[in-house]
Chain A
Amino acid sequence: MMTSHPLIRLLDRGSTLFLVLLAAFAIAIPVSNLLMPEGSALHLSTYFVALFGKYVCYGLLALSIDLIWGYVGILSLGHGAFFALGGYAMGMYLMRQIGTRGVYANPILPDFMVFLNWSELPFFWYGFNSFAYAMLMVLLVPGLLAFVFGWFAFRSRVTGVYLSIITQAMTYALLLGFFRNNFGFGGNNGLTDFKDILGFNVQAEGTRNALLVTSCIALAVCFLICRAIVTSKFGKVLIGIRDAESRTRFLGYRVEAYKLFVFTVSACMAGVAGALYVPQVGIINPGEFAPGNSIEAVIWVAVGGRGTLTGAVLGAFVVNYAKTFFTSGALAPYWLFMLGGLFIGTTLFLPRGIIGTYNNWRAGHADKAEAKAAEGASAGGGASPAQPSAAE
């Protein structure tokens, strides 16, 4: 209810549990990797640290999608584009840090530019030797693209499946652009062979653990921002837009401004996720723009439960863990079928996703207990439990 204290609204039971678990992982994994002796049962390999760090970034991407899909009903099938743009911004910083250690030992130009016989740095690479500037671009580039894209789309009242299709077209167009060598981002190969981040070796164990912890902090901060948004009156307006857009409009709300704001915030979060992803996997290439990636991210959210925030992150972890597990065994060729099956299965049997179904089940239990108590208290008058309708 709107009357409760903002902090209580922000941190309900599920959110608190989520943050506690995230903090536990962020502490336990580095401790186990760095402090426990190798061979001990409590030791986790560096491979696992990097893997978990990657999942956390996917979790953040899923969170950003849930914010717009779960709460405003904007199904973006191109969110991978914002993720990749954030990743490229970070990649450009990392490329500039290589300096003379590259194959061609050019102090300014990254290897691929020397290879293409370019004599000077393109203007859009200026400034990327500064970490602060690169981080600004991580937020600004995806944010600006989302703002411009959203400004046109929402103003023209493009909604539903049409919006999904044009978001897909957007990421596909970027994919084609980034594949081109003369685009200036390393073409097909993308950006790789990173050496340092802020002076620390990206391959070093300490750096990997630090990146994991940073990713967890970023996820926690973005989660709190999302919670603050969805529990405010603004969030209630968002749900209003999702369920009855014209009602919201006729109440005097400027629907396009609401959508634009939240779409831009979401894109910035996806950008941050991409920026943290790149140093942990060591490469960014145009493949990240592939529409399939964006669709996969939507599946994570659907599996975890949209409109729950925690569910999106859980979905990203569960599906990606399954992906890691299955693609490394004999079942590898069938992974895409499994993913498709998972999506169909979720839609048919678990339309609210894992967390959504759990919440519903708990609410049902609470209602039953309440009805029982009411029955016991008063002889007559059957208490009818308020069943929230499934407005899908």
Chain B
Amino acid sequence: MATVQADRKTTSSLLYLDGISVSFDGFKALNELSFIVEPGEMRAIIGPNGAGKTTMMDVITGKTRPDEGDVFFEEGKYDLSKLDETEIATLGIGRKFQKPTVFEMHTVEDNLQLSLKNDRSVKATLFWQSSAEQEARIDQVLDIVRLKHLRARVAGSLSHGQKQWLEIAMLLAQDPKLLLVDEPVAGMTDVETMQTAELLREINKTKTVVVVEHDMAFVRELGVKVTCLHEGSVLAEGSIDQVSTNDRVVEVYLGR
């Protein structure tokens, strides 16, 4: 695994993005994007459609390679731009997709069983046996997302909101250091949205979380530092009140 020399970057942050640019056929999806996330922080990312939120997630998780710039993880220890999705997931970065993506044909239990932090090699899974410890861990995660009563259900039969929670539970089961959560409340009812905010705050007690979201009421409910992206770079950063009264943010959102 590519480790960066100690002198190249000295940073105390968990996630460090500096001058990231990505272009697709001349379209600059990310333009000199820089921002950092401290350990234990929860950060909300907002921005209009096409601001580069998902591309940023892709860069962090190794799906897209940046054309320029640095992406470091854990105090500059790992250069994420040199690793692939599997290696980055193993380092402890979990990602929830915009569209809830769970294993529809498997039960809720099996979904979590596959997500638990374990040896992921072919040999290990071929000869794998469940243990009481693993079962207890699944119970624990299901408790957090309040899906314990659905343990034996096939994931495909869950409601949209329940799938979103199951995916968050799968992230938790991986025991990551950083959770990237892409639009967790899209398509949820108001009650579910508030429950999700509570859930994320609970998770944030032990883990660092980055949430991308459109829903302002939800972001306000989270009550954390907000970064507003626009055209691939950071437009404003601060509390939700600061950001939502920022003239340029208002201009971008309302399209003056």
Contact = CB atoms under 8 A, between A and B. Distances in A.
A387 interface: yes
**Interface SS of chain A: helix, strand, loop or mixed?**
helix
A234 B90 CA distance: 18
Contact of B95 (A6, A248, A250, A261): A250
B60 to A, nearest CB: 11
A385 B88 CA distance: 39
Given A233-B113, A252-B86, 8 more contacts: A1-B107, A232-B127, A243-B103, A246-B97, A247-B102, A251-B115, A251-B170, A386-B153
A307 to B, nearest CB: 9
A239 B97 contact: no
Nearest to B92: A252
A378 interface: no
Contacts of A233: 113-114, 125-126, 128
A252 B122 contact: no
Interface of B: 61, 63, 85-86, 89-90, 94-95, 97, 101-107, 109-110, 113-115, 120-122, 125-130, 135, 152-154, 156-157, 170, 174
A224 B114 CA distance: 23
Nearest to A388: B154
What 10 A-B pairs have minimum CB-CB distances, sorted nearest first? A389-B156, A252-B89, A234-B125, A233-B128, A234-B126, A233-B125, A247-B101, A388-B154, A249-B85, A391-B104
Residue of A1, A246, A247, A261 with highest tally of chain B CB at under 10 A: A247
A229 B114 CA distance: 15
Contacts of A236: 103, 106, 110, 113-114
Nearest to A240: B103
B157 A386 contact: yes
Contact of A251 (B63, B114, B128, B129): B114
Given A250-B89, A386-B157, A239 B122 contact: no
Contacts of A237: 114, 125
A244 interface: yes
A381 B126 CA distance: 42
